[in-house]
Amino acid sequence: MDSALASDTPYVRDSVRTAVKVLIVGHFAVGKTTYVGTLSEIRPLRTEERMTQAGASVDDLAGIRDKTTTTVAMDFGRLTLSDDLVLYLFGAPGQQRFTRLWDDLARGALGALILVDTARLKESFAVMDIVEKQGLPYAVAVNHFDGSPRFPDEEVREALDLAATTPLITCDARDRRSSTEALISLVDHLLTLDAETP
């Protein structure tokens, strides 16, 4: 799915002086590719490949309907925030066998937005561990799928063992407005942490 704002012009404005890198992470099939595509103003770079029988023994497809492709390296999108500021979105692959790529993807990133699915919350722990080991501040966005269970934020926060200061927001990765709100929650969190740093 291409962004409604996707452009055939890949160039950054001459006035841009600052580029910020943010990771979009989460477990397998949580909506990272969709999220990056929804927000990107350029046609997003995708490294999706068709899933094959060879991966059936390592990719848990339980509860995932009609999943036929998977990201094998990264997704990449861009969002211009002002005349002089651009945001680069790097979507990391979700399967455990690709997490070695995360070291490179995390290099230079200011923070991460972790997408989670309430139907598969336990799969988020490994992702959160990796992000914390990278030393990246993060916000958590519950990506609501059609038919997925809905729980109060307090219950989700407790189930994920989130710190009181970790932002938790609900979004729909297909919807530009709610995806933007999730990104804003991360950016606000990063600004708060920066203001607190002596």
Tell me the domains of the chain and their CATH numbers.
18-196 (3.40.50.300)
Among 34, 33, 55, 42, residue whose Cα is nearest residue 6: 42
Residue 62: pLDDT band by 50, 70, 90 thresholds? low
pLDDT of residue 7: 47
Please give the pLDDT value at position 147.
78
Which pLDDT score, from 0 to 100, does residue 25 have? Answer: 95
Long-range contacts of 33-36 (CB under 8 A, 24+ apart): 33/71, 33/75, 33/91, 34/1, 34/173, 34/174, 35/91, 35/113, 35/115, 35/143, 35/171, 35/173, 35/179, 36/75, 36/76, 36/77, 36/89, 36/91
Please report the pLDDT score of residue 175 as a whole number: 95
CA distances, 163 to each of 135, 168, 169 (Å): 15, 10, 14
pTM of structure: 0.81
